[in-house]
Amino acid sequence: MTQMTLRFLLALLLLALVGCPPGRGGNGDDDDATADDDDSAGDDDDTTAADDDDTTGDDDDATGDDDDSTASGAFSSNPGDLPCEGEKSGGTVDVWSVSLSAGQTLVAQVDTVAAATTFDPAFTLYDPADPDTGEYLGGGDDEFDCTFPPPEYSCPEATYTATTAGVVGIAVENYGCPGTDALAVYVLRVQVNGAAAPATLVLDDYVLGSAMTDPPQ
């Protein structure tokens, strides 16, 4: 290789280096602080707005989209509590009843109300409102993030459309307390055809499979 050829190649290399765009870390590209991937505003893998894995308006957060509670409309609020020893294996439930006409759609949710009384709730729907003899209609377990999340799992939501008129039972159950309080406190939210609907507590702290009866308190 001649000296002139070597100088020509070195000159080309210098031109290439000078003409390269600035590396990552500036504006408008990956791994910086504005409006694109892996930064802190307006796109994936950040904590601010309108994209995946953040806290507003999209997947994996707590508002209006996948992996959260998506039902709209008004709900009635029905407070209740369960003993913390009444976990899944113990089978202690509160049973609520809701009256439906044929064709009406019920949406039910159970949410936690405080950090000290949080727990892992679930519920089952029955017709009639007898958890020992009623027909199983469905249920909810981990459909949306609890307002006060337990150490594990989430809060339940379920939808049921009645084929005939009748009374549907909602049996709320405690699947586990974190041990910070003697009670698992919840709110049952109910709507029928998009409007808040009344629910009546018909069995309080009922032990499944027993002959006990406990009128509403």
Distance in angstroms (rounded) separating the CA atoms of residues 139 and 154: 14
CA within 13 Å, CB half, 121: 37
Tell whether the model's pLDDT for residue 38 goes beyond 80.
no
Does a structural domain hold residue 22? no
Q: Do both 63 and 146 map to the same domain?
A: no
Using 50, 70 and 90 to split pLDDT, how confident is the model at 26? very low
pLDDT in tens, 47-88: 444 444 433 333 444 433 344 455 668 999 999 999 986 444
Q: Where do we find the tokens 């064709």?
A: 103
Range of the domain at 146: 76-207
Does a structural domain hold residue 154? yes
Using 50, 70 and 90 to split pLDDT, how confident is the model at 129? confident
For residue 190, count other CB atoms closer than 10 A to its CB.
21
pLDDT in tens, 107-116: 999 999 999 9
Enumerate the β-bridge partners of residue 122: 173
**Lowest mean per-residue pLDDT among 5-9, 111-115, 137-141, 196-200:** 5-9
pTM, to two decimals:
0.65
Does a structural domain hold residue 2? no
| Dihedral sign of CA atoms 93, 98, 104, 106 in order | negative
Does a structural domain hold residue 213? no
